[in-house]
Structure 1
Amino acid sequence: MAGIAFGRFDDSFSGASIKAYLAEFISTLLFVFAGVGSAIAFNKVTSNGALDPAGLVAIAIAHGLALFVAVSVGANISGGHVNPAVTYGLAVGGQITIITGIFYWIAQLAGSIVACYLLKFVTADLAIPTHSLGSGVGVTEGVVMETVITFALVYTVYATAVDPKKGSLGTIAPIAIGFIVGANILAAGPFSGGSMNPARSFGPAVVSGDFKDNWIYWVGPLIGGGLAGVIYPNLFMNQQHVPLSSSDF
């Protein structure tokens, strides 16, 4: 059974670790800038982009493409998590230490916040859209939806990027990860907002000052990511956890 590794502070402050945090900051900034930016752009060119079916498709595609790139550019440095729920799921499965994971979270949240402030500036102070529940959707349904779609995301990460048996699948991992996010936004966008990523929801909430229901986009994704971190490595990965060296993270 995979085990959670707490880690050591000296490993988490090594040169390689600092580079990994910077990579997570940059990757998350790029992803959120493009993802939130696509929503702002569609709202600008339509009367109500959030409710427009074409807007849902456009925003889903933008998020999928942006995540594909963000994961790709960070993969060889930090692993390309770009998401606190992914980091949490990997920590639960023993693939990253708790201490290093906390610093990943800080870098990811900071990247999201900076991206949203940049968007606020370059769009001449247009409103930053936040995730929210669709009409008629309760908080329980929202949490369950975010749990399910985040489980699908982190499960995909394990299967295509983490599992030692992945073989040639590793080369398409960023594409698969981008595809599942785009597909999940198409499925969940009108209901829970289709976040799957606490950082993606937190940055807009900070910049807009609107934290209504923001907790949903922490609880659901962390439950889903944690479940994937328990199920995939314990059922489908044959190797025991080997603590990550400071040269990796």
Structure 2
Amino acid sequence: MSNRIQISNPEFDNADQRHTDNEVRVDIGNDSSDKKQERRMNSGGHFNPAVTIGVSLCGRLSLKATILYPIVQMVGGLLGAALTRAIQPPMSYIDNVYYFDNGVTVIGKDVKPGLALFCEGLITFFLVLTYLMCTMEKKKTNWLLSSLAIGFIAQANILAAAYITGGSMNPSRSFGPAVCMSVFTKNVWKHHYVYWVGPIVGSALAAFVWR
């Protein structure tokens, strides 16, 4: 249950807030690298259903783990979002889905759903392919360098997709905040499928390319 909530918003217009927002994204990329290194020898350090699907399609994960991992990841995402919800005052949620989103991922203003879907699929493809190339090869793996590579690609993807989709790449990371925000507004579900279909397709393509 190692999902972390990302405070990101595709529609910030305030320059200072954009600067702070980008700092958070950089921190998430570095945090992703740290978590990968810490959990590699225990479970593979997935914390993302898209990564789990990719590894499973490569034949490197049992059916039981393929089913259980996403469930635990979803629970982790929900718990992280619930903790954020408990810490933040209610007014930070009410009618502020496009101002302070508490981790909710929504597609940017004037961004077409098709573009958002392609974007999530593309960045997830690069993330999962990097993970597979760094961890699934038969040669001896340098876990430190692998963790850094995965963290850097996650960081680059988030920065690239920030104002298109928020750069999720992770269904469980998007689902938890959406559930918590849905108490105040249902708008978060309008294009939520983007954060499932895109990463799953991108992950499957990455597994196909790697194999």
Equivalent residue for 1:131?
105
Percent sequence identity is 32
One-letter amino acid of the structure 2 residue matched with residue 200 of structure 1: R
Selected match of 1:201 from 160, 165, 174: 174
**Alignment CA distance shift 1:90-1:123 (3 Å):** same
Selected match of 1:59 from 19, 24, 31: 24
Equivalent residue for 1:239?
none
Number of residues of Structure 1 aligned to a counterpart in Structure 2: 196
Q: CA deviation at 1:177?
A: 0.9
Equivalent residue for 1:76?
41
Deviations 1:164-201 (A, max 9, x none): 12x35433111111111110111111112211111110
Equivalent residue for 1:14?
none
Higher relative contact order (CA 8 A, sep 6+): 2
Mapped partners of 1:162, 1:49: distance in 2? 42
**Alignment CA distance shift 1:109-1:50 (3 Å):** farther
Selected match of 1:223 from 198, 201, 204: 201
Question: Which 5+ residue runs of structure 2 have no aligned equivalent?
Answer: 94-101, 183-187
**Alignment CA distance shift 1:51-1:220 (3 Å):** farther
Mapped partners of 1:57, 1:193: distance in 2? 11
One-letter amino acid of the structure 2 residue matched with residue 68 of structure 1: S
Specify which structure has the higher proportion of helix: 1
Selected match of 1:188 from 161, 175, 179: 161
Question: Which 5+ residue runs of structure 1 have no aligned equivalent?
Answer: 1-24, 41-46, 235-249
Q: How does 1:131-170 map to 2 (within 5 A)?
A: 131-165=105-139, 167-170=140-143
- Partner of 1:77, secondary structure, is coil
- Partner of 1:159, secondary structure, is helix
Mapped partners of 1:104, 1:124: distance in 2? 32
Larger radius of gyration: 1
Task: Tell whether the 8 Å contact from 1:56 to 1:186 is kept in structure 2 after alignment.
Answer: no
Deviations 1:205-228 (A, max 9, x none): 111113221110000000001111
Q: CA deviation at 1:69?
A: 2.1
Mapped partners of 2:18, 2:88: distance in 1? 23
One-letter amino acid of the structure 1 residue matched with residue 27 of structure 2: A
Equivalent residue for 1:105?
70
Mapped partners of 1:148, 1:76: distance in 2? 28
Mapped partners of 1:49, 1:204: distance in 2? 23
Mapped partners of 1:174, 1:137: distance in 2? 32
Q: CA deviation at 1:133?
A: 1.1
Mapped partners of 2:18, 2:205: distance in 1? 31
Question: Which moves more between the two structures, 219-228 or 131-140?
Answer: 131-140
Mapped partners of 1:50, 1:130: distance in 2? 20
**Alignment CA distance shift 1:97-1:216 (3 Å):** same
Q: CA deviation at 1:162?
A: 1.5
Q: How does 1:226-237 map to 2 (within 5 A)?
A: 226-232=204-210, 234=211
After TM superposition, the score normalised by the length of structure 2 is: 0.85
Task: Tell whether the 8 Å contact from 1:143 to 1:219 is kept in structure 2 after alignment.
Answer: yes
Task: Tell whether the 8 Å contact from 1:142 to 1:216 is kept in structure 2 after alignment.
Answer: yes
